[in-house]
């Protein structure tokens, strides 16, 4: 599904290298988790994959189903099936959540050469999906993320994911700022979307989220590259011993 090889990235505005040769191979239907200390480059990886400005790829590649991701605009990457759930979802006053979502769904369809979803179809689908995530009609009507609590914002991200039906989902610290109940709800939303054709890359600091979203593989990222890959037990190891030991092993 997603193949990242030898990815080197630095900041555009200053000569600071952040990713120093990341290699990752994500198969369809699998859930991968990336853990790592602050500043290891986890969020940068998610931004570079989704096409945020300000980063310069100096070497390496990233392909989604064989297509060169790094060559595409952010909206084209989305239409190709990539989705990033933001760590800090952006507030957009004055634009209704529904309007925004319908614009997004139909923009992607248009880019893929598919017919647009009618208002009726859209309404039916969003109501059903919002209900599962305990998002009420009021929240759908309100401006995008404005006045939403931390938990509501993250649930709204998952709702967008459910509506856009991406193939490759990246969750950037979706657990940050969530209480236990909110985390469970978000995890349920994610789990409901798991199937053999959809791949997840879950970026997190803590093992806790991985209790609810069970990963197939866990990668440890440090200083801009993947230093260790293992099964779910690797996450537990980090939880118990911290990163210091792993970093030490490497040194």
Binding site for other proteins (CB under 8 A): 50-53, 73-75, 77-79, 83-84, 86, 89-90, 92-95, 100, 103-105, 107-108, 111, 143, 160, 164
d(CA 240, CA 207): 10
Shortest distance in whole angstroms from residue 14 CB to other proteins: 17
**Cα(53)–Cα(27) distance, integer angstroms:** 27
| Bridge partners, residue 133, by sequence | none
Residue placing its CB nearer to other proteins in the complex, 161 or 234: 161
Nearer to other proteins (CB atom), residue 83 or residue 243: 83
- Kindly tell me which of 106 and 188 has the beta carbon lying closer to other proteins: 106
* Side-chain-facing half-sphere of 18: CA atoms under 13 Å: 21
Query: Is the Cβ–Cβ distance between 187 and 212 less than 8 Å?
Result: yes
Q: Name 140's Cβ contacts closer than 8 Å, sequence gap at least 6.
A: 96, 97, 98, 126, 130
For the CB of residue 79, give the shortest distance to other proteins in the complex, in Å.
Answer: 5
CB of 84 to other proteins, least distance (A): 6
Nearer to other proteins, 55 or 243 (CB): 55
Q: How far is the CB of 96 from other proteins (least distance, A)?
A: 9
């Amino acid at each position: 599904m997603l193949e990242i090889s030898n990815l080197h990235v630095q900041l555009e505005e200053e000569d600071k290298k952040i990713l120093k040769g990341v290699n990752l191979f994500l198969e369809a239907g699998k859930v991968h988790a990336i853990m790592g200390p602050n500043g290891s480059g986890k969020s940068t990886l998610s931004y570079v994959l989704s096409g945020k400005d300000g980063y310069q790829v100096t070497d390496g590649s990233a392909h989604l189903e064989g297509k060169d991701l790094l060559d595409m605009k952010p909206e084209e990457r989305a239409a190709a099936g990539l989705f990033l759930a933001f760590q800090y979802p952006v507030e957009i006053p004055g634009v209704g959540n529904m309007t925004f979502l319908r614009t997004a769904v139909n923009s992607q369809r248009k880019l893929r050469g598919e017919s647009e979803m009618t208002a009726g179809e859209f309404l039916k689908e969003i109501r059903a999906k919002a209900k599962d995530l305990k998002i009420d009609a009021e929240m759908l009507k309100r401006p995008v993320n404005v006045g939403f609590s931390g938990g509501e914002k993250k649930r709204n991200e998952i709702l967008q994911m459910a509506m856009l039906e991406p193939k490759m989902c990246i969750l950037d610290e979706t657990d940050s700022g969530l209480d236990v109940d909110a985390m469970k709800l978000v995890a349920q939303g994610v789990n409901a979307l798991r199937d053999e054709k959809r791949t997840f890359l879950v970026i997190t600091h803590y093992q806790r989220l991985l209790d609810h979203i069970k990963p197939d593989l866990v990668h440890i990222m440090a200083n801009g590259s993947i230093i260790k890959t293992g099964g779910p037990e690797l996450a537990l190891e980090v939880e118990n011993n911290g990163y210091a030991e792993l970093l030490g092993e490497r040194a």
